[in-house]
Amino acid sequence: MSAAQISADALIIGGGVAGLFILDTLVDSGVGALLVDAHPLGSGQTTSSQGILHAGVKYALAGSAGDDAVEASEAAALWSEMLCGGAGNDLRGVRVLTDHCWLWRSASWAGVAGMLGARLALRTAPVAVAEQERPEWLRGVKGDVLKLGETVIDPRSLLQVLAERHSARILRSDVQAIERLANGASVTMGGTGEYRVRASSVILAAGNGNERLSALADAAEPMQRRPLRQLMIRGSLPLVFGHCIDGARTRVTITSDRLADGSVVWHVGGQIAEDGVRMDASEFLRYGLAEVASALPGVELGGCEAGEYVVDRAEPRTKDGRRPPRAFAQWSGSICTVWPIKLVLAPLLAKAVCAQVRERSVVRSPSNGWGDLRDGVTMAQRPWESRWNSPQMGTR
């Protein structure tokens, strides 16, 4: 059977936050772009994300506003515009879970608030909050508490908004081969090679999947995986958004969502998630629940259920194996490999990639969709919907 031939200015492979943001940005600037994903959209990292639009504070706890803190701060400002419909990517349909987070620790802050405000080039400096103005769930916490202008979104609703806007341009299929051409690349897809796309630019935005794809494309960008073991707690809980810190370390980061039955699920990361990958599931649940209980002594966890899951962060390889400082986009001929590093950085990444794609577009093809090939595009579930492993009761 001969393969159906399609041409496009750009083909994006992978429909997490990076791929969908790039698609939205390219289409908005008049580029004929298409996207293909082998799985439900956002499988992997984006639907596991805590959805915090980090304003840079977390990266600056060590005492100076490095490039990554400043970049995150700029990106967070861009998000504020987009959530109001501006800056080119209209995100008014995205569910905003909160427009502020809290930062606290059990010992005294002793000048940390001043340090954060004074030393950081952040757009919104954290504000110390008097005891009577704190939320109920922070009542048992001794020492200062700061309020941060840090928004938290539901990452799946973000994917939904972008995917619905461009539904005709998104296809579910697996990539079989990527062949470099003089002015672009040819990508073969489908189990039996039913379709072939010729594109001036091919963007590899498949998270973990980039390892295989970049090898197929002979671009072989070295990748690292940094696993996390996230904790989930559900029950009759308050909605909590914030970070409990210990020096420069984030002990726990808690975000929340309300479930259909009215209960609340806490999604907990931070240092416990880094430590948890060296533990088995039950050891981690004991440790994670104890950390949460100590971070929030005023909250009753009795009667709650706890679960956990492991997920890999996919990134370009660094010399020391730590988080790369900024979003990554590397071109090799017409193939560009991208990793946003953080969800909050995806719009900056998309703008940078878009500028390059526009320069490289040879055809300016009218491609505006997959036509009859399109079917079966679905959205990945949140971890508490699909990965509630070994539920256990809370410890108190």
394 binds ligand FAD (CB under 6 A): no
14 binds ligand FAD (CB under 6 A): yes
- For ligand FAD, the closer CB: 48 or 98: 48
Residues 179 and 334: beta-carbon distance below 8 Å: no
Nearest to 234 by CA among 209, 201, 256, 213: 256
CB under 6 A: which stretch of 117-125, 130-138, 300-308, 336-344 binds ligand FAD? Answer: 336-344
Q: What is the DSSP letter of 41?
A: B
Nearest to 181 by CA among 363, 351, 347: 363
- For ligand FAD, the closer CB: 261 or 375: 375
Interface residue with ligand FAD among 42, 242, 270, 288 (CB under 6 A) is 42
Contact positions with ligand FAD (CB under 6 A) in 178-207: 205-207
Interface residue with ligand FAD among 12, 52, 113, 295 (CB under 6 A) is 52
- For ligand FAD, the closer CB: 155 or 184: 155
Helix residue ranges per DSSP H, the chain: 17-28, 67-83, 112-119, 155-165, 210-216, 271-276, 281-295, 346-360, 383-386
13 binds ligand FAD (CB under 6 A): yes
Burial pattern 97-128, b for ≥16 Cβ within 10 A else e, equals bbeebbbbbbeebeebbeebeeebebebbbee
CB of 101 to ligand FAD, least distance (A): 10
7 binds ligand FAD (CB under 6 A): no
SS3 103: strand
209 binds ligand FAD (CB under 6 A): yes
Residues 218 and 25: beta-carbon distance below 8 Å: no
343 binds ligand FAD (CB under 6 A): yes
Query: Going residue by residue from 268 to 307, which x/- string records binding to ligand FAD, judged by CB under 6 A?
Result: -x--------------------------------------
CB of 130 to ligand FAD, least distance (A): 28
Tokens 């905003």 found at:
96
Strands 328-332 and 33-37: unpaired
Q: What is the CA radius of gyration of the chain?
A: 22
44 binds ligand FAD (CB under 6 A): yes
In sequence order, what are the residues at sequence separation of 6 or more whose Cβ sits closer than 8 angstroms to the Cβ of residue 219? 204, 330, 332, 333, 335, 337
41 binds ligand FAD (CB under 6 A): yes
- Distance (Å, rounded) from C-alpha 299 to C-alpha 297? 6
339 binds ligand FAD (CB under 6 A): yes
CB of 245 to ligand FAD, least distance (A): 15
38 binds ligand FAD (CB under 6 A): yes
- For ligand FAD, the closer CB: 31 or 158: 158
- For ligand FAD, the closer CB: 109 or 175: 175
Interface residue with ligand FAD among 7, 25, 45, 365 (CB under 6 A) is 45
344 binds ligand FAD (CB under 6 A): yes
CB of 114 to ligand FAD, least distance (A): 26
CB of 164 to ligand FAD, least distance (A): 16
Q: How many residues bind ligand FAD (CB under 6 A)?
A: 41
How far separated are the first and last CA of the chain, in Å rounded?
A: 63
CA distances for 254 relative to 142, 157, 271, 286, 309, angstroms? 18, 19, 11, 17, 15
Residues 208 and 44: beta-carbon distance below 8 Å: yes
91 binds ligand FAD (CB under 6 A): no
CA distances for 215 relative to 124, 140, 158, 207, 218, angstroms? 42, 53, 30, 14, 5
50 binds ligand FAD (CB under 6 A): yes
- Residues at the contact surface with ligand FAD, assessed by CB under 6 A: 13-19, 36-39, 41-46, 48-52, 54, 175, 205-207, 209, 212-213, 228, 230, 269, 311, 313, 339-344
